[in-house]
Amino acid sequence: MQKIRAIVSGLAAAVVSLPTLSACQSNTPTANTPTANTPTTSTTTTSTTTNTPGTVVAQQSTGTDDPCSVHLWDGKNFKDSDIVISGAGQYSNLRNLPGANGKNWEDEADSLKVGSAATVKAYKEENFKGSSVTYKPGTQHPKLSEEPSSLEITCK
């Protein structure tokens, strides 16, 4: 992706811009080391050792520009606080996501939009356990029946 941009008319929001991963690139953590978010030119270390994230960007937006991403909202109908997770990755829990500014997304996502090249498997429990729902590329869900606690994002 060339740039991550968030422009919301009439809204002054802080935007964290990071290089994104290509649709085919993913990260592979090593055992017993903090998982790193490794875009092309920079590295951001997360505080958990079980997540293999792509790029996570806190932004205010109404769409998902990155085809390999999932956009989560804390409210139904794409309202309230939100976060975009760009790139393929596995998130065994949704606490301490980079770019979330301290917000714990565990059992918080009430609506989501999936990028046109992404597939998202959302699990009810941490560590990819419990019931799961798979969201196909380009889908939008204004009211999730279950708030996810872990995610797997793949990209074509």
The predicted model gives 121-149 an average pLDDT of 96
What are the structure tokens assigned to 52, written together? Answer: 């293999």
Is 89 inside a domain boundary?
Answer: yes
Is 47 inside a domain boundary?
Answer: yes
- Expressed as residue numbers, the domain containing 76 is 36-155
The model's pTM: 0.61
Strand partners, 139: none
The predicted model gives 124-153 an average pLDDT of 96
CATH number at residue 104: 2.60.20.10
- 100-118 pLDDT, tens digit per residue, is 888 999 999 999 999 999 9
Look at residue 3 in the predicted model and tell me its pLDDT: 31
Q: Is the pLDDT at 22 greater than 50, yes or no?
A: no
Mean pLDDT of the chain: 70
Q: What total of structural domains would you count in the chain? A: 1
Is 132 inside a domain boundary?
Answer: yes
